[in-house]
Structures are given as structure tokens and as C-alpha cells.
Amino acid sequence: MKDLKNTNGIETNTEIQFMDNKKNNEINKECIIRKYGIPSYKFIYEPLPEIEVLFYRQKLGSHKTKLELHFFKNNLFLYTYTFSYLSLKEKNEIIKIIKEKYLERECKDIINYNIVDKNKNIIMLNDGVDFSIKYSRKNNIDLETILKNNEFQNSKEENKRKRDKKILFKRL
């Protein structure tokens, strides 16, 4: 999630939206379940139980994807399409479509930059083991709250590991 704080953004005049008839800040869990049905899997993030993630299997064109929808206090703040098993040609086709839809000027490398709309919604492409496209509501305070809480949880866990190591060191 920290990559979504990246300010290396290419601005777009096209609004980044998940649903055609709703603004991203109007989308809640009930809207998604009405549209897609019961999720394949549901996950509640233990350190911050206000975060719930719904997982769906979707077909975008001819591509099988995993759709992850992240909610904070029942409101959508992040969603990701993950494409497994893409050939280089298929990956380039998807990148070309994103460029055509969101970018007016030619841009060679959008993998290393976020695409940002006027409402500070973000698209980020990730080309790792799987190819994924993340969408986030940047202007949403929820993302900052989540990131701060995540950093706090990580520091708590690190302190606990250090404390446990000291105890183990003393006793062995």
C-alpha cells in the first residue's frame, strides 16, 4: 500500500471510477455485493478490524482476474485487478488500453508512475510475479489512517520481536 503514497504521478483528465454510475466515494460494500454477488472469499484485517477485503474472480475481456476490494468502515478505498498467466503481448495490450483511456499524451513507461485524476484517485500498475492494477482514493483520509496504523502495528511487532529475543538471549 505504501506505493500508493508515491507522488510520481502522471495527471489525467479522465476521471478514475470503479462503477460508471457512482463516484468512488459513494461505493460501499452493499453496492458491490448487489453488483457482483457473494464474494469468493472475505478477509477482515485483524490489527484494524474496520478493514474488510472481498475477493472475486472476474473475467475482463478474455482475461481471468482476481478482483480485491478493500473497504474501510464499509467504504471502498482500494481495489485491485490481478492478472495471472499473461503473455508479454497480453500485458502490453492491457497497458496500451490504460494509456489510451487515461493519457492524452504519449508516455513510454507507466509502470513506474501513478496515474492521478483531478480528484486524486490513483492507478498504479505492478509488474511482479503477477501483473496487477491498483486503484485508490488518494484524497481519502482513510488511506492515511490505515498506513499510519499499519506502520504502528509493524513497529509494535518489531518491538515485541526484539523483547522476545532479549528474553530468549538472557535465558539461553
Total number of domains constituting the chain? 1
Residue 103: inside a domain, yes or no? yes
Domain membership of residue 107 (yes or no) is yes
- pLDDT tens-digit map of 155-171: 556 667 777 787 777 77
Q: Does residue 31 sit within a domain?
A: yes
Q: What is the pLDDT of residue 81?
A: 94
Give the pLDDT confidence score for residue 2 in this predicted structure: 44
Residue 119 inside a domain? The answer is yes
Residue 167 resides in a domain = no
Domain assignment of residue 165, yes or no: no
Identify the pLDDT of residue 156.
Answer: 56
Report d(CA 136, CA 4) in Å as an integer: 7
Distances (CA, A) of 168 to 66, 88, 165: 42, 49, 5
Residue 153 within any structural domain of the chain = no
Domain limits for position 14: 2-139
**Best-predicted range by mean pLDDT among 26-30, 65-69, 74-78?**
65-69
Q: Would you say 59 and 65 are in contact if contact means Cβ atoms under 8 Å apart? A: yes
